[in-house]
Amino acid sequence: MSRRKSRRRPSNSPGRFRQFLRALAVSAAVSFTAASCILNPQLRERISVAPILEHLGAGAYAPAVPEAQAGAYVQTRFDGCPQFFPGARAPAVPAGPALRELCYDAFAILHDGRARTPVFVAQRLNRRMLAGASSIARTDRFFAEARLPGAERAELDDYRNSGYSRGHMAPAGDMHTQAAMEQSFSLANMVPQDQRHNSGAWNKIENDTRSYIMRAQGDVYVFTGPVYAGRAATIGAGRVAVPTHLYKLVYDATTKRSWVHWQANSPDAKAGAPIGYEEFVRRTGLRVLPAG
């Protein structure tokens, strides 16, 4: 009596096949983009793999801190505005796609096109600047940053009815010229911020920082930006990433003292004790101050 051999079919074969095709497509997209940039170096500033990955369903924003811990860093340049960095030395940051440097009259931004928010916003402030800022009228005219590719920037509609405020990283209250005030309303300078946090604990930190600068003997450098713990929530059709935390690093160039305000992006956050610079580097991977 002959026995028929039964063939075992793998469960969920269509699903596995789709996963294989998606992985193959992602690999091909990344390889093609990398090869294009190698063969045509001028394309590196214009091509980002992020929109391709998002279209393939592989583009949910996640922070690059694991890369930083593995030692993958890039040196920023900011050739057009070195004055916003201590010693005119731009920071080293964790490597990642779609990082773009933007210079403004009163601040500089390293922008992350995947998150559509800054990595950091850098300022150089002193007593004279803040004294001038007190006479500048606030404009409240928000705008999308035209210098960023459409696939990497936040749009006004992304924030509309999102429940989040457009939180300034370089505060409007720091702007000492009318042009700087207008530029501070670029969405490249914004993150989705809890409304109560923005008007509460964070507002107190901004005011306390200005009070310190008014007492300082010289220039004070301030770095402000978002932090994303795990996979970030997003808002709008552009999927602008919502930070879990915000930081404001203050560095007095005269005394060489620094401290970092670290805040949860939540309505019940309190303005507590700051953390040290080394702890900030450990948490974020960002090295924004000169070594030594």
Q: Which residues are catalytic?
A: 168
Amino acid at 28: A
Helix (H, G, I), strand (E, B) or coil at 138: coil
- Tokens in use for 242? 């919502």
Buried-exposed string 202-225: b where 16+ CB fall within 10 A, e elsewhere:
beebbeebbeebeebeebbbbbbb
- Check: CB of residue 174 under 8 Å from CB of residue 106: yes
For residue 154, give every residue at least 6 positions away whose Cβ sits within 8 Å of its Cβ, in sequence order, or none: 116, 117, 144, 145, 187, 188, 190, 236, 238, 240
Single-letter amino acid, residue 248: K
Which pair of structure tokens corresponds to residue 122?
């850098």
Query: Which residue is associated with the tokens 């900011």?
Result: 78
Q: CA 235, 274, 229: angle at the middle one, nearest 5?
A: 30
| CB-based burial, 161-200: b 16+ in 10 Å, e otherwise | eeebbbbbbbbbbbbbeeebbbbbbbbbbbbbbbeebbeb
**Rounded Cα gap, residues 108 and 288, in angstroms:** 13
* Closest by Cα among 166, 173, 255 to 209: 173
Burial of 292 (0-12, 13-18, 19+ CB in 10 A): exposed
Assess contact for 109 and 145: CB atoms under 8 A: no
